[in-house]
Amino acid sequence: MNRLKQLFEEKKNILSIYYTAGYPNLGDTMAIAEQLEQSGADLLEIGFPYSDPVADGPVIQASSKQALDNGMDLKLLFEQLKDLRKTVTIPVLLMGYVNPMLQFGVENFCKACAEVGVDGCIVPDLPMVEYEELYAEIFAKYGLSNIFLVTPQTSPERIQKIDGISNAFIYLLSSSATTGQNLQVSDQTEAYFARIAALKLKNPSIIGFGISSKETFNKACKYAHGAIVGSAFVKSLDGDNVRGSVKEFMKKFKG
C-alpha cells in the first residue's frame, strides 16, 4: 500500500503543512521536512518556486521570490531530496506550477519524484484534459498521484470527473481567493462543503486556503479528512533558527 492511501486509511484530522523549497535559506528544505515530521505533521507539501505564482497570496509569493533569489530550481530540489526517505517517513507531495515542470521535462520530473520518494504532485494550473491526454500515463508509470483542486465554483459534473481520475485525495479550496486568506465558515461555505459531502466521493478530501490556527484547523476537519496550513507556517519561519521556529509553530496544533 502506498504512503498516501495508508495515511488516509489510518488517520483522521490529517494535518498537512506546505512550505517553499529553498526558503528562508537555500539549504533549509530537508531540515524543515525532518522537523515537521518530528513535530507531528502527517503530510508535507513542498512548493517548488516559480516567478509568477498566480494562485498564491503575498506571503507565499514573497517566499517563492526569496527561494528563487537564493538559487532554488527543480534540479537542486531533487538533489536536496535524494536522501529524503532516510529520515522522512510521512507522505510528501511537490506543489507548483506547470511551467517549471515542462521546462524540466514532465517524464524527467516524474522519474525524479519516484527516485527520491515523492508520493504525488499538486499542479494547480495543469488543465485536467491536458493531464489526461498527455501525462496521466507518465504519472501512473512512476506511481505518482496527481492531486486536483476543487473550488466553490466547480460544477458537480467536474467534481465527479475529478473524483473518477483521482487516486489519493481531493484538495478542496475553502474559497476562490488566493492563499493566505483566513477561513470564514459562512452559510455559503457550509453549503459548499455540504454539497461536496452529498456527492459521496470515493476519494477523501483535505481543505486548504485560510487554515492558520487550531481553531480554523478544527473547523475544516468537521467537513473533510484534514486541512492544509501554508501561509501561516511560511510566515512563521525564522531563517536564523529554522528547526526551532518549526517546532514552536507546530505546538499550536500538536501542543
Q: Which CATH superfamily is domain 3-250 in?
A: Aldolase class I (3.20.20.70)
> What would the grid cell of residue 160 be?
465527479
**Residue range 112-128, pLDDT digits in tens:** 999 999 999 999 999 99
pLDDT at 81 over 60: yes
DSSP string, 145-198: EEEPEE-TT--HHHHHHHHHH-SS-EEEESSSS-TTPPP---HHHHHHHHHHHH
pTM of the model as a whole: 0.94
The least confident of 32-46, 188-202, 241-255 is: 188-202
pLDDT at 22 over 80: yes
The domain segmentation of the chain, as residue ranges, is: 3-250
The least confident of 7-16, 33-42, 98-107, 193-202 is: 193-202
pLDDT at 178 over 50: no
- Please identify every residue annotated as catalytic: 45, 56
Residue type, 235: K
Q: Which residues of 197-230 are buried (b: 16+ CB within 10 A; e: fewer)?
A: eeeebebbbbbbbbbbeeebbebbbebbbbbbbb
Question: What is the pLDDT, as a whole number, of residue 180?
Answer: 43
Question: What is the pLDDT, as a whole number, of residue 179?
Answer: 47
Rounded average pLDDT over 10-39: 98
Cα distance between residue 19 and residue 207, in whole Å? 16
pLDDT at 225 over 70: yes
40: left (phi > 0), else alpha (psi -120 to 50), else beta? left
H/E run at residue 56: none
